[in-house]
Structure 1
Amino acid sequence: MTHGLHHVTAISGPARRNLDFYTRTLGLRLVKKTVNFDDPGSYHLYYGNGEAEPGSLLTFFPWDHAAPGRVGIGETQETRFRVPEAAIGFWTHRLIAEGVPHEAPVRLFGETVLAFRDPDGMRLSLVGVPGIEDEAAGETGTIPAEAVIRGLHGVSLLLREVGATGAILTDVLGFADAGREGTTHRFRASGGIGGLVDIREAGDFLPGRMGAGSVHHIAFRAADDAEQAAMRARLAGNHRLRTTEQQDRNYFRSLYFREPGGVLFEIATDIPGFTVDEPLADLGSALKLPAQFEPFRHEIEARLPALAD
Structure 2
Amino acid sequence: MSLGIHHVTAISGPARRTLAFYGEVLGLRLVKKTVNFDDPGTYHLYFGDEAGSPGTILTFFPWENAGPGRLGIGQTQETVFRVPAESLGWWTHRFVEKGVPHEAIEKRFGRSTLAFRDPDGMRLALVGVTEAASEPAWAAGPVPAEAAIRGFDGVSLLVEKGEKTAAILTDVFGFEPAGTEGTTTRYIAPGVAMGGTVDIRVAGGFLPGREGAGSVHHIAFRAADDAAQEAMVKRLREGHGQRVTEQRDRNYFRSVYFREPGGVLFEIATDVPGFAVDEPAATLGEALKLPAGLEPMRARIEAVLPALT
The equivalent residue for 1:267 is 268
CA distance in 2, matches of 1:164, 1:2: 18
The equivalent residue for 1:113 is 113
Give the CA deviation at 1:279. Answer: 1.2
Give the CA deviation at 1:169. Answer: 0.2
Aligned pair 1:224/2:225, yes or no?
yes
- 8 Å Cα contact 2:248-2:256 kept in structure 1: yes
- 8 Å Cα contact 2:82-2:126 kept in structure 1: yes
- 8 Å Cα contact 1:10-1:215 kept in structure 2: yes
CA distance in 2, matches of 1:131, 1:238: 36
Letter in 2 for 1:150: R
For the residue of structure 2 that corresponds to 1:83, the secondary structure is strand
Q: How is 1:1-12 mapped onto 2 (pairs within 5 angstroms)?
A: 1=1, 3-12=3-12
The equivalent residue for 1:247 is 248
Identity of aligned residues (%): 68
Give the CA deviation at 1:100. Answer: 0.3
CA distance in 1, matches of 2:2, 2:47: 21
Query: Deviations for 1:96-147, whole angstroms, at most 9, x for unmatched residues?
Result: 0000000001100111110000000000000101122121211244211100
For the residue of structure 2 that corresponds to 1:275, the secondary structure is helix
Aligned pair 1:155/2:155, yes or no?
yes
CA distance in 2, matches of 1:56, 1:192: 10
The equivalent residue for 1:144 is 144
Letter in 1 for 2:112: T
Q: How is 1:81-96 mapped onto 2 (pairs within 5 angstroms)?
A: 81-96=81-96
- 8 Å Cα contact 2:86-2:128 kept in structure 1: yes
The equivalent residue for 1:166 is 166
CA distance in 2, matches of 1:134, 1:300: 42
Q: How is 1:128-207 mapped onto 2 (pairs within 5 angstroms)?
A: 128-190=128-190, 191-207=192-208
For the residue of structure 2 that corresponds to 1:147, the secondary structure is coil
- 8 Å Cα contact 2:9-2:219 kept in structure 1: yes
The equivalent residue for 2:239 is 238
For the residue of structure 2 that corresponds to 1:164, the secondary structure is helix
Give the CA deviation at 1:167. Answer: 0.3
Aligned pair 1:103/2:116, yes or no?
no
CA distance in 1, matches of 2:52, 2:201: 29
- 8 Å Cα contact 1:51-1:137 kept in structure 2: no
Q: TM-score, normalised by structure 2?
A: 0.98
- 8 Å Cα contact 1:28-1:140 kept in structure 2: no
For the residue of structure 1 that corresponds to 2:46, the secondary structure is strand
Distance 1:182 1:82, change over 3 A: same
Runs (5+) with no aligned partner, structure 2 = none
CA distance in 1, matches of 2:140, 2:65: 30
For the residue of structure 2 that corresponds to 1:146, the secondary structure is coil
CA distance in 1, matches of 2:45, 2:243: 28
Give the CA deviation at 1:297. Answer: 0.4
The equivalent residue for 1:63 is 63
Aligned pair 1:15/2:21, yes or no?
no
Give the CA deviation at 1:2. Answer: 5.1
CA distance in 2, matches of 1:47, 1:108: 26
The equivalent residue for 2:302 is 301
Give the CA deviation at 1:173. Answer: 1.0
Query: Deviations for 1:233-262, whole angstroms, at most 9, x for unmatched residues?
Result: 000111000210000000000000000000
Give the CA deviation at 1:179. Answer: 1.3
CA distance in 2, matches of 1:184, 1:17: 32
Query: Deviations for 1:205-239, whole angstroms, at most 9, x for unmatched residues?
Result: 11110000000000000000000000000001110
CA distance in 1, matches of 2:50, 2:85: 19
CA distance in 1, matches of 2:268, 2:47: 19
CA distance in 2, matches of 1:144, 1:93: 14
Letter in 1 for 2:78: E
Q: How is 1:39-54 mapped onto 2 (pairs within 5 angstroms)?
A: 39-54=39-54
The equivalent residue for 2:33 is 33
CA distance in 1, matches of 2:31, 2:245: 26
CA distance in 1, matches of 2:243, 2:206: 27
- 8 Å Cα contact 2:179-2:185 kept in structure 1: yes
For the residue of structure 2 that corresponds to 1:292, the secondary structure is coil
- 8 Å Cα contact 2:186-2:199 kept in structure 1: yes
For the residue of structure 1 that corresponds to 2:142, the secondary structure is coil
Give the CA deviation at 1:271. Answer: 0.3
CA distance in 1, matches of 2:234, 2:269: 15
- 8 Å Cα contact 1:3-1:175 kept in structure 2: no
